[in-house]
Amino acid sequence: MNTNQLSLTRPQLETLACVNERCESYAQSGQKNLTIRKIYGKDEIRYLRCRDCGEEFSERRATALWNTKVSEAKAVAVAEHLAEGCSLKATARLVRVNASVVRRLNRKVGKHAAAFHNERVHDLEVAALEADERHGYAQDKGQPQWEAEVIDPESKFVVSHVQGQRNAQLIRRLLEDAAQRLAHRHRLVLLTDGEASYASLFPEIFGEAYRPSRNGSRGRFPDLRYRIPRTLAHVQIVKHREGSRVVQVDICYAHGSQKRVHQMLERLGYTTPHTSAIERRNATARRMSAHQVRKSLAFSRRPDTKIALGWWGLAVYNWSRPHRSLRLALSEPYAKQSLNPKLPPWHLASLTTFGQSMNSCSPLFSRHQLRDNLRSLSGCKYPGDDKISLE
């Protein structure tokens, strides 16, 4: 791969902001308080100075490429290969860098992707969610490390991602993380497999808590109980297998009314409840990570490597890869195209240099700029950014 062909442009100086929290212009773009003190490195990185507080900082501050010694083109190439399912050593050979560079960049892009997801994914409005787990291993085949995710079947957007041992604690972390990202946790239908922890934890996490009245004036107050509103439901799809083959599928309405479930099915265009969206996401995730390949000896030698790959693959899937089921018909065919993506994705390189709004000097670029928004993540708010709707 020729990594010298990647052409990167810098954001305009007016779109950047000071990173010093004590500065009166902190995180405020367009204040005309930044000047270019110098340009350094082969990538011509700008070193900025704030006139208001005198703080000096690189425009790479709080990005995945901060303190990276390799060129931006090679760093982006490493991230691209990792997202396509190449192993760490294979990526090092293809990009012609040392394996330690790949391991370091993998940790950085993974940590960065998690921070990006936590900042951008909140106040979601969804009608349904699907949850499932997929197995994997860390260190050796005797130490399983599962990945659990929650996805919106309508937009194919992965809402939550956690990793760990497959037990009730993992399911609790998954559901609590998904619930706190929703605008209305009491207005949805959750579709899961037959894992018992989903049914036991669903009322506590998504239901409405209340305390029954005490009989008499003595004794302890009753424990909290949880009520399932009419707008909330939980369906479990229980699969019975003989060996590796599914022989029977039972649908269990664990919580809520069937009427609410049927309303959701009509909206999604389903005839029966199922978890096809998360199952297809599982298959895609296995192809995007060399440590998630099924029926092989592929496993991560270090748990943090697998966690970083999981978060990086999630960010690429959510923000950079187009989904075929989301295509819309064009009013008039253009050239050989008759379909158009519902939302133009970011170029994969866009994610590698976004910073967090709390300490990044650069704002989030428009989704329509697919290639050149490589150095920043939102330092300022745009209309509608406070609520992301997946309806």
**Looking at the predicted structure, is the pLDDT value of residue 255 above 60?**
yes
Per-range mean pLDDT, top range of 235-249, 329-343, 371-385 = 235-249
Helix (H, G, I), strand (E, B) or coil at 338: strand
Could you tell me which CATH class the domain 123-212+222-290 is placed in?
Answer: alpha beta
The pLDDT score that the predictor gives to residue 364 is 40
Rounded distance between C-alpha atoms, residue 152 and residue 302, angstroms: 30
User: Any idea where the domains of the chain sit in the sequence?
Assistant: 3-119+322-352, 123-212+222-290
What's the confidence (pLDDT) of residue 60?
85
96-136 per-position pLDDT tens digit: 999 999 999 999 999 999 999 998 899 999 999 999 999 88
Query: What order of strands is seen across the sheet that includes strand 56-58?
Result: 34-40, 45-50, 56-58
d(CA 70, CA 68): 6
> Between 92 and 320, where is the model more confident?
92
Residue with token string 């990005």: 63
Position 384 pLDDT exceeds 80 = no
Tell me the C-alpha distance between 160 and 132, whole Å: 11
Report the half-sphere exposure of 100 (CA within 13 A, side-chain side). Answer: 2
Percent of the chain topping pLDDT 90: 53
Alpha carbons 355 and 328: distance in angstroms, whole number: 32
The confidence band for 292, taking pLDDT boundaries of 50, 70 and 90, is confident
Q: The whole model's pTM is what?
A: 0.81
238 closest CA partner among 250, 248, 246: 250
pLDDT of 383 over the 70 cut: no
Helix, strand, coil % (nearest 5) of the chain?
30, 25, 45
Q: pLDDT grade, residue 215 (50/70/90)?
A: confident
Contact 240, 252 (CB under 8 A): no
